[in-house]
Amino acid sequence: MSVSVAENLDGAEPMLFQPFTVRGLTLKNRLVVPPMVHYRAAPGNTCGAFHNVHLGRYALGGFGLVFVEATAVEQVGLINEHDLGIWNDAQVQSFKPLIAFVKGEGAAIGIQLAHGGRKSSSQRAMDGMGPLTAQEIKAGAKLWQPVGPTSEPVAPGWLTPHQLTTDECRAMVRTWAHAARNAVKAGFDVIEIHTAHGYLLASFLSPVSNTRNDEYGGDRQGRMRLPLEIVEAVRREMPDTMPLFVRVSAVDGAQNGWNLDDTIAFAFELKARGVDVIDCSSGGISGSATAAQVPRGLGFQVPYAERVRNEVGIASMAVGIILEAQQAESILKNKQADLIAVGRQSQFNPNIAQHWAHDLGLNRRFEDWPAEYGWWLEKRIRTIEGFATPTGVVRRDVQGVNAKE
């Protein structure tokens, strides 16, 4: 059921804005808002006003697929007490208004199922993204023991995790299956499994953090066992028409850590188990940051998506400092990825999908914007015609115009 990487090609318009079909879902374009944690859950780790507004604006902004951030499959798997969860019915119900709004605006909506593992019970990113301090705990921050493949902490100063027993690993598979059932019940279009950035499943994959000697450790096959069992369990809970994504840290960026060859082997196993898209990120196995150990630059993770796509024959999603429409378009045309995830740049400009359409010659009269916006903006063209572009870029070569930024 996985999408063929040769499908969905039509040269009549920019690839970035061509539809993309995977299983029973057709995205209106190739632009995706990836999961980004914000630590603003409503009481009970539910979805409330902040997430409705925060994620809803990306649907208004023209994205084809919008992901809800890392959402815990159980309470001990919260990265921070302020994260979203999907282990109970109140949480399931809380997502429904957001899902209805996003779908109503013509976008698809996905959820990233996650477990913080050794990084659970830690600081919010804006507070340092490290272990909770004594001052924060004294002020009321919730503290609990995280879990991991061993009792080795993420780094010095972090909480010591409880080492999951073999039976607890097996029970963890059922925990993820239950969360997947809840995601389907809530009405999400896509599920993504988080196996990146040093969280629970990434810590099982990496030889840096997984030094177990039971069936869930040892060689690469043993270290992949828990993530693959979880993928199988999640896939069983999903309709055949529903796409399944997996986010990977393509490389740990650490000495003797998980590497790109490991990711290729993992991707073949994922494809065999019904995964449709590999979301290629990197880093995060030790310390707080996600990719700090991996050198950054324009499109720095695109080569990971390219190799997974072309060696494994599975659709891939590129992410990581993709800043311009032409850059995104070239990634697709060069067959380096099938989807483009725009994270921080989408926070800088929630309408970036619409702006990129203008940059690539589409929506000259705002016809694909929401009607409530497009009507006003199309009329605005008449006002600024002669000294600015439709998107408001001032033409400084026009004589006699005292234009200001």
171 part of a folded domain: yes
Low-confidence residues of the chain: pLDDT under 70: 1-11, 287-293, 397-405
23 part of a folded domain: no
| Dihedral sign from CA coordinates of 201, 317, 38, 235 | negative
> Which residue in 58, 199, 216, 304 is the catalytic one?
199
Q: How confident is the model at residue 385, as a pLDDT?
A: 86
248 part of a folded domain: yes
166-186 and 220-237 helices cross at what angle (nearest 10)? 30
- CATH classification of the domain holding 337: 3.20.20.70
50 part of a folded domain: yes
Q: How confident is the model at residue 12, as a pLDDT?
A: 72
Q: Across all residues in the chain, what is the average pLDDT?
A: 92
Encoded tokens for 12: 């009549």
Per the structure, how many domains does the chain have?
1
Q: How confident is the model at residue 255, as a pLDDT?
A: 82
215 part of a folded domain: yes
8 part of a folded domain: no
390 part of a folded domain: no
State the residue range of the domain holding 113. 29-348
Q: How confident is the model at residue 363, as a pLDDT?
A: 87
SS3 287: coil
392 part of a folded domain: no
Buried b (16+ CB within 10 A) or exposed e, 205-223: bbbbbbebeeebbeeeebb
Q: How confident is the model at residue 404, as a pLDDT?
A: 46
Q: How confident is the model at residue 279, as a pLDDT?
A: 97
199 in active site: yes
